[in-house]
Amino acid sequence: MKKKKYAIILICLLVIAIAIIAINIRIPKRISINQNISELSVTRGKDGVIQKIGDCDKIAGMINGIHVRTYSVVSILKGDASRTGWEYYLSYKDSDGKHKSIVISQSNIEYNGKSYTVEDTDMITDIINELAAVYSEYDSKKIKFALEDLKNIIIKSNITSKKVTIDGKTLDDCIERLSKDNMPEKAKPDTERTLYKITFNYNDGTSEEILVYFGDVLMYKGKYYEACGNLCDVITENMN
């Protein structure tokens, strides 16, 4: 009886050991991406800006063959795979005509709908740097409003002729919010139909004018830019 009892205990311990190993195992894989892809675009995680990539072969070549590992059962149950965040989302058309995507971060890749941890940290860093370079020209054309020494802001609706002057504590709040806007340059709109005219009046007597057009495009300092969220919010809150 004792031998039978010990045998049962041994089997139970063996099953437990196998189960522990199984739920912690991480299977190695390699990312395989076809070199003949097309229509490659990248979305940046921090602001959702999309850019097209002309040199598909270079990016595909850098991604192809990256060593990754699956998440263990324990990690999945803990939710580690869903807490990784992402830096870049790549979308492309494969050689078979199907649209596919790869999500990239410093320590994680989502490929074919599954999340993997990255083993080749140097390679993934090179890829992230390459994708960041895609945005260098875009970022260099961003501009901020000149908000120092503001006396007031006047917003006038071109549709209703309503005019609002922002000053005092409300102005301080607007300055703080508008300082966070980075406006990317845009092409001239097809129709320059003005929605609002915004005037920045400074304490030294000078002023600057901003024209906001239909389609969330504005003109500032003689160039066209995307109307960012904080500016749109300031207009909406003060004109409604």
CA nearest neighbour of 31 among 61, 59, 58, 66: 66
- The radius of gyration of the chain's CA atoms, rounded to the nearest angstrom, is 27
- Residue that is last in its domain, among 113, 140, 167: 140
Please report the pLDDT score of residue 23 as a whole number.
Answer: 46
CA nearest neighbour of 45 among 141, 165, 132: 132
What are the CA-CA distances from residue 77 to residues 107, 113, 185, 217 (Å)? 19, 17, 44, 46
Asked if residue 184 belongs to a domain, the reply is: yes
Residues 47 and 117 in one domain: yes
Asked if residue 145 belongs to a domain, the reply is: no
With beta carbons less than 8 A apart as the criterion, state whether 239 and 155 touch. Answer: yes
Q: Give the CATH number, domain containing residue 184.
A: 2.60.40
Please report the pLDDT score of residue 73 as a whole number.
Answer: 45
Asked if residue 177 belongs to a domain, the reply is: yes
Tally the domains of the chain. Answer: 2
- Residue that is last in its domain, among 140, 175, 208: 140
Please report the pLDDT score of residue 203 as a whole number.
Answer: 93
Residues 134 and 49 in one domain: yes
Residues 124 and 208 in one domain: no
Asked if residue 190 belongs to a domain, the reply is: yes
Residues 32 and 136 in one domain: yes
Residues 154 and 135 in one domain: no
Residues 123 and 208 in one domain: no
Residues 129 and 155 in one domain: no
For tokens 């959702």, the residue is: 48
User: Distance of alpha carbon 206 from its chain centroid, rounded?
Assistant: 37
For the chain, strand residue ranges (E) read: 28-30, 38-44, 50-52, 67-70, 88-93, 99-104, 108-111, 114-118, 150-157, 163-166, 194-202, 207-213, 217-220, 223-226
Please report the pLDDT score of residue 14 as a whole number.
Answer: 59
Residues 34 and 119 in one domain: yes
What pTM does this model have? Answer: 0.54
Residues 41 and 126 in one domain: yes
Please report the pLDDT score of residue 24 as a whole number.
Answer: 46
Asked if residue 7 belongs to a domain, the reply is: no
- Residue that is last in its domain, among 86, 112, 140: 140
Instruction: Provide the domain limits for residue 228.
Output: 150-239
Name the DSSP class of 183: B
**Coil vs helix vs strand at 2:** helix
Please report the pLDDT score of residue 21 as a whole number.
Answer: 46
Please report the pLDDT score of residue 135 as a whole number.
Answer: 83
- List the chain pLDDT tens, one digit each, 240 residues: 556 666 666 666 555 555 454 444 445 577 778 778 888 899 888 878 888 888 888 888 888 888 877 654 444 445 554 555 688 999 988 888 888 888 888 878 888 878 787 877 888 889 889 988 888 877 777 778 888 899 999 999 999 999 999 999 899 999 998 988 888 888 888 888 899 999 999 999 999 999 999 888 889 988 888 888 888 899 999 988
CA nearest neighbour of 215 among 202, 225, 223: 225
CB atoms within 10 A of CB 235: 18
Strand 114-118: give its sheet, edge to edge. 28-30, 67-70, 114-118, 108-111, 99-104, 88-93, 38-44, 50-52
Please report the pLDDT score of residue 22 as a whole number.
Answer: 45
Residues 136 and 59 in one domain: yes
